[in-house]
Amino acid sequence: MRLVHINLLQPGMKLGKRIFSEEGLVLLSEDVELTSRLITRLKDLGVGYVYIQDAATEDIVVPDMLQEETKRRALVEIKKQFHYMSGFKSKNQITHFGKALCGVMNSILEDIGSQKEAMIMLMDMNSSDFDLYNHSLNVCVYTLVLGVASGYTRQQLMEIGLGALLHDIGKTQISTEVLYKPSRLSDEEYKIIQQHTTYGHRILKDEPGIPLLSAHCALQHHERIDGSGYPFGLKGNEIHEYAKWIALADSYDAMTTNRVYRQALLPHQAVEVLYTGSGTLYEQWMLEKFRDCVAIYPVGLSVTLSTGEVGVVAGIQPRVPQRPQIRVLKDAKGQPLSVPYEINLATELSIMITGVEGVEDSAALLKEEHLKS
């Protein structure tokens, strides 16, 4: 299986993984043969990358961070509670959703704990658009991987996991016209969006079963260590460590998910953007830990090597995720190899990944990328 940029799709290719809508509905199932009409439709929907079946990579398996049933159950519960909360505007109204979401968290933690060395791998590489429910789940999963890597206890993982899962619940109190506006927000609209942090804290702080620290995550996840964040402009150690982790996961998922105004960035591009905020927006040591936990080149991605050869990422090595296993498919002259072979970049240190098929150099884009989500 390989991951192909939308502009490189050809009629006759077969899908290797299902493509989902922003509502989590299946748009196209695996094994569907692409036609010119379907490819055009996918482009219109804003899909950036698609997994396809390929004879040279048929044995390459793209891992999932969560079991399908865990993900389905989590999204159903998130949608249910967020929809319920969208009808509540008074802080005095009682909801009691903590117990249900704690059950979801236990399932997510079991899935992550079952992996020998859990890593941050993209959850929705071939989804059609950003939505609040998938974003909440993605940020939760990414944050939990960081928590596990940081040696957090089970109780701490529950606290930060619930905080991440519910970090944007305050957006249920924002009008959909503002929340999903496809064009640039006005200054007044941006101030309205900023209120979701205080709304979220208000919803969660007295909710039975939701730790108070989880409520603080909703309140502080847009604070930045240089004081440029909101709602209070907190600095450095004034911001809880949980909120700092969630801020990284939140920004990363926002950048690696399709939006109506731009296609998703690839992980290595998003990590580069995050590093532009090292020491100002984010703690440097946290960025280094984050980088070491991210599979920056997804399995199946077509890459160009410094040797001129072209290949596909065949596997991720948790100890050195920036140096994956590459299956070489074309020689330095661009000619297909009759017998592909593999290079372990973790041991072949003189060879580097220099490009990604279908993606132009985006240094200027990365410098201008807005980190707010």
The answer to whether the 1-62 and 68-296 domains have the same CATH topology is no
282 and 225 Cβ atoms separated by less than 8 Å:
yes
Could you tell me which residues are beta bridge partners of residue 266?
A: none
pLDDT (tens digit, 9 = 90+) per residue, 181-235?
Answer: 878 889 999 999 999 999 999 999 988 889 999 999 999 999 999 999 999 999 9
In DSSP terms, 326 is beta-bridged to 313, 343
Domain 68-296 architecture: Orthogonal Bundle (1.10)
Alpha-carbon distance of 149 to 135, in angstroms, equals 21
Q: What is the pLDDT of residue 369?
A: 47
Using an 8 Å Cβ cutoff, are 272 and 251 in contact? no
Position 325 scores a pLDDT of 96
The answer to whether 163 and 218 have CB atoms below 8 angstroms apart is yes
pLDDT digits (tens, 9 = 90+) for 289-336: 999 999 889 899 999 999 999 999 999 988 888 899 999 999 999 999
- For residue 287, name the pLDDT band (cuts at 50, 70, 90): very high
The domain 1-62 is classified under which CATH number: 1.20.58.100, 3.40.640.10, 3.90.105.10, 3.80.10.10? 3.90.105.10
The alpha helices in 66-186, defined as continuous H runs, are 68-86, 98-113, 132-149, 154-165, 176-179
**144, 157 contact by CB (below 8 A):** yes
pTM: 0.85
232-265 core/surface letters (b: 16 or more CB in 10 A; e: else): eebeeeebbbbbbbbbbbbbbbbbbbbeeeebbb
- Across the chain, mean pLDDT equals 87
Domain positions in the chain are 1-62, 68-296, 302-356
Q: Report the alpha-carbon distance of residue 215 to residue 207 in Å, rounded.
A: 9
25-34 pLDDT, tens per residue? 778 889 999 9
